[in-house]
Amino acid sequence: MTTDTTYGTGSANADEASSLPATSPLKGSEKTTGRVPKKRVNKSLLSLLNDACKYSAYSEYSMPSGFLRRKGSDSSRPGAKDDELQNTTQGSDNNPSSISVSVQKQRQVNKKRQSESSVNGLDENTQKVVTRKKPSRIKKKADPQSRHTSKLVAESPRKSESSVGSQPDATSSTNNLMNHKNLRKDLVSSQRANSFIEDQTNHFTRRRDLFDSDALQSKETFDCELIHSRSLSDPQRTNPNVVKLQSILYPDFEEEYTVDFNVDLSKYNPMSEIGRIIEYTVQIYVPKKIANQLRKKVVQPLNKAFDDRNQEGFIRAVETFNEIVRKVPRTDVIERLRCTEEVPTSFFHSLLHTVYVRTIHPKARSLKEYQAFSNYVYGELLPNFLTTAYAQCGLKSGDIFMDLGSGVGNCVLQAALEFGCSLSFGCELMPNASDLTTTQELELQRRCKLWGLKLCPTKFSLRTSFVDNPIVDELLPKCDVLLVNNFIFDAKLNLQIQKLIQVLKPGCKVISLKNLRPFGYTINFDDVGNIMNRLTVKRYDLPENSVSWTHRGGEYYISTVGEDIDESIFTTHSKGRVRMGRRVKYTR
């Protein structure tokens, strides 16, 4: 019987070989000619080498000094270090996965495209396609001016290549639905004008019970403590340039913001946040007639003031917004929400980010307190990627989602907010990440309330391992989608995960960054019931800007638990054996 318990990436090939760093010194004549004679290389050895290189300090895969979402490094800048995640921010951050994205430049590009389209006589649809196809990466040098004014402190909700459509919910009520086509049309036109919201016109999230209209109707006051914007931008409260932003749903709630274009905005830009909040309010919350009025009287002047770095103009536009929304009858807003079953996915990403900057950023350093190259190295999967991966797994309301090694809870919270699972569960061992999970969960719950959103139930098992964890053991057999970011997990922990997942039910999907089934896995006929034999594993290309520790792409896996043995474990392996001229051995 042959068994191989080595954890490889499962995808070793010649291309990977060429991507390996040149660590082996050249010998004799090779040095002088610079040519290396071609050799047949063992594929599993390559896979091992490739894995090993991920941990090499010199490799492009080396663990970053910080393993968090970028605060503003420009990964598109030539020579930008892959792993400088905690660095001081650069002026022009064009990395779509990063927190800070150049609004100003994005706008300039949009304007340029508009004028190009009119010059070339392109019609509206053509323009739309161009805008959609072109990702928002703008490879320009940092502009010292834009360092202060051009930062959108938001997840850039860029559409990834593999991004998938919204999640239809079969149980959705069809009564009284708002006209989604109109909403999309409005969005497209607002995108074409300057906007604080990046181009996400083609990705919507559909979910039953997005809004908690009954709770909204029963309570008119907002009685929760939130982490205010000013505690980030002006903790000493010395800056006199302040504006209050009126909540659309709670007349008694305003959030105070500093409006100052002359301070360092590279880490957090309150004006961008205000811009996004106002635009989403206009798109999603206010009745249509008032929305048009707001677009003219607020959104346009607000964008202009932002572009011109005009503080007074910006504050004036916010005050006009406050005046108008205060007059909107609350019942009209609630009525509109009652009919809404679909919102731009970027709205959720933006909300998650608003929470993340308030709760995680200020304590980010604490997440770096781990032993290098251990299982506890911290890193994050980014919202755009998660939206895609969850949708690929068919995650839907009513499902149970689990994240083993949940960090600060991002993946769990996103699954609950965006996909409305019946339970979204995370387990995290490290104390600092656990503390931040609690803070982040609370802030999200409160902000969801502020926006009238229903956040589906979340649960965490914190400061505890997922191994020998009774809550994990109880939930795993019911789990529909399991996430294991095992990119940095060692072979021993991966083996423990293999033992844990034996109880998963047929149909359950597992998202992992390394193949759960070891490369060269061979069936053991003494253990045919092993779940490894019933996994159908699909490898996907990880698009660029999907994870926090590198802007580069890579791979990820979705494994589906089947009822029966996955035939491919015979075929792929036997093919390999045949190629290598060896006999296939499935012996006892």
Ligand X SMILES: C[S@@+](CC[C@H](N)C(=O)[O-])C[C@H]1O[C@@H](n2cnc3c(N)ncnc32)[C@H](O)[C@@H]1O
Binding-site ranges for ligand X (CB under 6 A): 375-376, 378-381, 403, 405-407, 410-411, 427-430, 433, 465-467, 485, 488
- Name the minimum Å distance from CB 506 to ligand X: 25
150 is in an annotated binding site: no
* 409 carries a ligand binding annotation: yes
CA distance 505 to 488: 26
Nearest distance, CB of residue 464 and ligand X, angstroms: 7
Comparison of 344 and 405: residue with beta carbon closer to ligand X: 405
> Which C-beta is closer to ligand X: that of 169 or that of 403?
403
To ligand X, the closest distance from the beta carbon of 409 in angstroms equals: 8
Nearer to ligand X, 280 or 348 (CB): 348
- Tell the burial category of 304 from Cβ atoms under 10 Å away from its Cβ (0-12, 13-18, 19+): middle
Closest CB to ligand X among 117 and 434?
434
CB of 508 to ligand X, least distance (A): 17
Torsion from C-alpha of 238, 243, 247, 251, nearest 10 degrees: 90
Q: Which is nearer to ligand X, 301 or 405 (CB)?
A: 405
- 261 assigned binding-site residue: no
179 among the known binding-site residues? no
Helical ranges in 330-469 per DSSP H: 330-338, 345-359, 383-392, 410-419, 431-450
Q: How far is the CB of 208 from ligand X (least distance, A)?
A: 27
Q: Where are the beta strands (DSSP E) in 70-176?
A: 100-102, 151-153
Instruction: Classify residue 456 as exposed, middle or buried by CB count within 10 Å of its CB (0-12, 13-18, 19+).
Output: buried
The neighbour count for residue 281, using CB atoms within 10 Å, is: 24
Nearer to ligand X, 321 or 466 (CB): 466
- Residue 509 or 573: the one with the smaller Cβ distance to ligand X is 509
- Beta carbon of residue 433, minimum distance to ligand X (angstroms, whole number): 5
Residue 169 among known ligand-binding residues: no
For the residues of 224-262, what is the DSSP string, one character each? -----THHHH-TT-----EEEEE-SS-TT-EEEEE--TT
Query: Whose Cβ is closer to ligand X: residue 299's or residue 547's?
Result: 547
Does the annotation flag 120 for ligand binding?
A: no
Looking at residue 363, what DSSP letter applies? G
Question: Does residue 85 have a known ligand-binding role?
Answer: no
Return the closest-CA partner of residue 429 out of 350, 512, 496. 496
Give the nearer residue to ligand X in terms of CB position, either 351 or 488. Answer: 488
522-526: Cβ within 8 A, 24+ apart: 522/1, 522/2, 522/3, 522/4, 522/569, 522/573, 522/586, 523/565, 523/569, 523/570, 523/586, 524/1, 524/3, 525/1, 525/586, 525/588, 526/1, 526/588
Residue owning tokens 């896995």: 521
Task: Confirm whether residue 408 is marked as ligand binding.
Answer: yes
- Closest alpha carbon to 245 in 450, 417, 98: 450
CA 396 from chain center: how many Å?
17
Q: 381 labelled as ligand-binding?
A: yes
* Closer Cβ to ligand X, 7 or 466, answer by number: 466
Asked whether residue 394 is marked as a ligand-binding residue, the answer is no
CA-based nearest residue to 355, from 451, 282, 460, 485: 451
> Using CA of residue 202, residue 389, residue 440, residue 74, what is the dihedral sign?
negative
Q: Which amino acid is at 508?
A: C
- With H, G, I as helix, E, B as strand and everything else as coil, classify residue 444: helix
CB 136 to ligand X: min, Å: 23
Closest Cα partner for 489 from 516, 510, 519?
A: 516
Q: Residue 378 annotated as binding? A: yes
554 among the known binding-site residues? no
Minimum CB separation of residue 520 from ligand X in Å reads: 25
Q: Tell me whether residue 71 or residue 192 sits nearer to ligand X (CB atom).
A: 71
> Which residues are CB-contacts of 308 (< 8 A; sequence separation ≥ 6)?
none
Spatial contact of 156 and 96, defined as CB atoms under 8 Å apart: yes
The nearer residue to ligand X, 328 or 415, going by C-beta atoms, is: 415
The least CB distance from residue 363 to ligand X, in Å, is 14
Query: Which of 554, 276, 540, 207 lies closest to 388, judged by CA?
Result: 540
Shortest Cβ distance from residue 287 to ligand X (Å)?
Answer: 38
> How far apart are CB 90 and ligand X at their closest, in Å?
24
Q: What one-letter code names the amino acid at 31?
A: K
The C-alpha atoms of residue 411 and residue 420 are separated, in whole angstroms, by 13
Q: Which residue is nearest to ligand X (CB)?
A: 405
**How many Å apart are CA 93 and CA 101, to the nearest integer?**
5
Nearest distance in Å: CB 493, ligand X: 6
Q: Comparing C-alpha atoms, which of 487, 428, 496, 485 is closest to residue 458? A: 428
Q: Would you say 401 is a known binding-site residue? A: yes
Binding site for S-adenosyl-L-methionine: residue ranges? Answer: 378-381, 401-410, 428, 465-466
Binding site: residue ranges? Answer: 378-381, 401-410, 428, 465-466
